[in-house]
Every structure is written in C-alpha cells, then in structure tokens.
Amino acid sequence: MKRNLAPGSVIGVPGSGQLGRMFAIAARRMGYRVHTLSPDEDTPTRQVSDVEIRASYEDLDAVREFASRAGAVTFEFENVPAASIEACAALGPVHPRAEVLHVTQRRLREKTFLAKNGFPCAPFRRVRSSAELEPAPAGIGLPAVLKTAGFGHDGKGQRLVRTPQDLKPAWESIGAGEAVLERFVDFERELSVVAARDQEGRFEPFPVCLNTHSQHILDLTAAPAPIDPRIAARAIEISRGIPEAVDGAGVLCVEFFLARDGKLLVNEIAPRPHSSGYYTFDACVTSQFEQQLRAVCGLPLGSPEQMRPAAMANLLGDLWSGGEPLWRQAAAFPDVKLHLYGKLEARPGRKMGHLTALAHRVDEAKDRALAARASLARGERES
C-alpha cells in the first residue's frame, strides 16, 4: 500500500552507521524527522537524528515502540533479524519490503534468486557438510571461492580455493558451516550501479561506477566509469530487472564483475544506499540518500544527473595510526569535499570517512581524490 508522507513525518531507521547518518542529513534538510534504533550510543546516525532508541534489534518490544512512532521504516543495513522486520511491517510501511531483505541477507538465497530469475552470475554450489565439500567443484572447476552461506561483506567469510587439498582447510577457516562454492571470476574491472525505484515502479539509475578495492574493502570509486557505453547500458538493464523481480521500492546497489571476455556477472546486491554511491551527495542533482527518502515517502524521484565527474576515496582508521590526520592539507584542495562520520574510535580497517573530488574528467577526479587523501598522512609534510 502506497503512503505519501509529508515533511514533518517521522522516518524510522534501524541501524546507526554512516549510511544512516547521511540519510538523516538528507531527510532533515527536507523537513523530515528521523528516529533510529541501535544497540550502541553516540553513533554516527544518532549525532544528526532527532531520536535514538538504544536497544537490541532482538528486543521486539523496543522495536515495536520504535516502529509505532514512525510513518515508515527503511534501512541503512540489511542484517536486521527477520522477526524485527516483521514487527515493523505489522505497524506500518517498510521499504524495502521484508522479502527483499530476506533474499539479500544470506549469500545462498541471493545467489539462488539471481540464478532462478536469469540474472548473470558465477556458477555456484551449495555446501552443507563435509560430505558435500569434495564433489562441489564438479561443474564449477578450480580455482573457486568458498563463502559462508550467511552474513558477510567486505571480503569477510570467504577463502580462495586453488586445489582440492585447499577445500577442507578453507571450509574449516570459515566455520565449517553451510557455505557456497563459487567459480573464481578472472575479472577485468569491478563495477556497480546504484539506482532508485519508487513505489509505482519508476526506476532512476545513477551512472555506472568503477570501483577499486584494497584488502576486500572499497578504496576508490570513480563515476562515470570509463567503459564502453554498451556495457554501461547492459549493467543498468540488469540492475533495473532486480528490483522489478522482487517489487522493491527504495535504493539498491548491484555490484558487478566485468569479466575479461566482456561479460557482466552480478556479484552482490545491497538493498540500500551503498558506499560506491557516496559521491552522489556532492556530484549529482539528487543524492542516493534523498532518493531513498523520496521512495520511502511516496514522493516522485529526483533527477540522478551527475553534474561533474567525481571520485570517492575511503578514509580508514589506519590513517590515524600516526596521530590526527592533517585536515588542513586536504582542505587546501578546493574541489574536494570531506565527509567524516563521527565515529569515536579509529581502528585499522574501520571506515571513518571519505573524500569526494570533483573535476572536468574522471581521471582528474581520481588523481585529485588520491592526492588529497595522501596529504592527510602525518610525516614529512609537518616539518
């Protein structure tokens, strides 16, 4: 059921990270109130929201109290327990729908959904026991990647398997539970499409992004991706079909491998705003976070037009290892925007913020983002 929510309405967001923070900024700018639910305190989302309920996601009484105050509920991460989602849905609209989150919460369900609906993905096999482990490579071949069937992101819960002898140690290293064995993709590039779909089925994609990872964590995004326009059009076509198949409203990100033979393979789906879409906050007419708000509230989607080429460089906690980064150095780049998430403790590998660089060409934007990030590190520049 479509519900139009006017400014002043409350939007509930289970979760407390940087995605919720940026959503709250977009929502409050348009006059909406944001309530969050989190087991933590002084979180990135709480710092800019109106109300935060501090409780476990498994505390269904707290979840119901949280949902009862909201005109609609949306998500900044998908790993909320199914019972909590159902409790929210019993009290009002939830976008994306619980069925969408159910599919994307577990790798095995996601891979099965993609294959069943004809979306291109790497061949895979389900592994439920050690007895199923040895024959699993048949029809897939090696090398392959063994992944936990359940939760996992940023490269967590997966191991590369090169030989049959690697299978058992790899399985044990990820917990010896239900897993997915997936053919290793010799890819040329990693791409993503962030897009919005409203409650009436209208679809608005942002430009295809080129992504570079380091230690399985997104390091740099450039948009628009410098690729063949036919490949970009195909990526958007595939991305359009995924929310149609589940009748989902909101923002989603589809991550792709571009194989060396030119084929696109879907790697993962995120049914929410995504780090590869951070650049939209500064470079597009309507950011991914505002699109999420519009979709949730039953408003028309905004224009996703990108005004200038852009690149986003992640800032991880490692940058703080030598002391407070040199913010003045990065501020000296006039076409670079600094976003910090307000996290209280910097740890290696923890996403603490990002830089967005704008330029006339995408390669210039990439160089500018990397140079601005390099300038933050303490060292000889202080002398």
Looking at the structure, tell me whether residues 159 and 196 fall in a common domain. Answer: no
pLDDT tens, per residue, the chain with 383 residues: 567 999 999 999 999 999 999 999 999 999 999 999 999 988 999 999 999 999 999 999 999 999 999 999 999 988 889 899 999 999 999 999 888 988 998 899 999 999 999 999 999 999 998 889 989 999 789 999 999 987 655 556 889 999 999 999 999 999 888 999 999 999 999 999 999 999 999 999 999 999 999 988 999 999 999 999 999 999 999 999 999 998 889 999 999 999 999 999 999 999 999 999 999 999 999 999 999 999 999 999 999 999 999 999 999 999 999 899 999 999 999 999 999 999 989 999 999 999 999 999 999 999 999 999 999 997 644 44
Looking at the structure, tell me whether residues 52 and 201 fall in a common domain. Answer: no
Helix (H/G/I), strand (E/B), else coil: 278:
coil
Report if residue 3 sits inside a domain.
no
Instruction: Choose the final residue of a domain: 151, 167, 183.
Output: 183
Task: Name the pairing type of β-strands 336-340 and 351-358.
Answer: antiparallel
The predicted pLDDT at position 379 comes to: 60
Looking at the structure, tell me whether residues 250 and 144 fall in a common domain. Answer: no
What single string gives the DSSP state of each residue in 294-344? HHHHTPPP----BSS-EEEEEEEGGGGTTSS--HHHHHT-TTEEEEE---S
pTM, 2 dp: 0.94
Instruction: Choose the final residue of a domain: 138, 160, 183.
Output: 183
Q: Is 166 exposed, middle or buried (0-12, 13-18, 19+ CB in 10 A)?
A: middle
Looking at the structure, tell me whether residues 169 and 263 fall in a common domain. Answer: no
Report if residue 99 sits inside a domain.
no
Q: pLDDT (tens digit, 9 = 90+) per residue, 97-106?
A: 888 988 998 8
Find out whether 273 and 289 touch, Cβ atoms under 8 Å.
Answer: yes
Question: What does the alpha-carbon distance between residue 207 and residue 222 come to, in Å, rounded to a whole number?
Answer: 10
Taking each helix axis from N to C end, the angle separating 288-297 and 18-29, rounded to the nearest 10 degrees, works out to: 70
Looking at the structure, tell me whether residues 14 and 151 fall in a common domain. Answer: no
Looking at the structure, tell me whether residues 233 and 351 fall in a common domain. Answer: yes
The predicted pLDDT at position 41 comes to: 86
Residue ranges making up the domain that contains 231:
187-382
CATH of the domain at 163: 3.30.1490.20
Helix (H/G/I), strand (E/B), else coil: 221:
strand
CATH of the domain at 70: 3.40.50.20
The predicted pLDDT at position 380 comes to: 44
Looking at the structure, tell me whether residues 165 and 263 fall in a common domain. Answer: no
Q: What's the mean pLDDT when you consider all of the chain? A: 93
Number of structural domains in the chain: 3
Beta bridge partners of 124: 182
Question: What does the alpha-carbon distance between residue 229 and residue 336 come to, in Å, rounded to a whole number?
Answer: 27
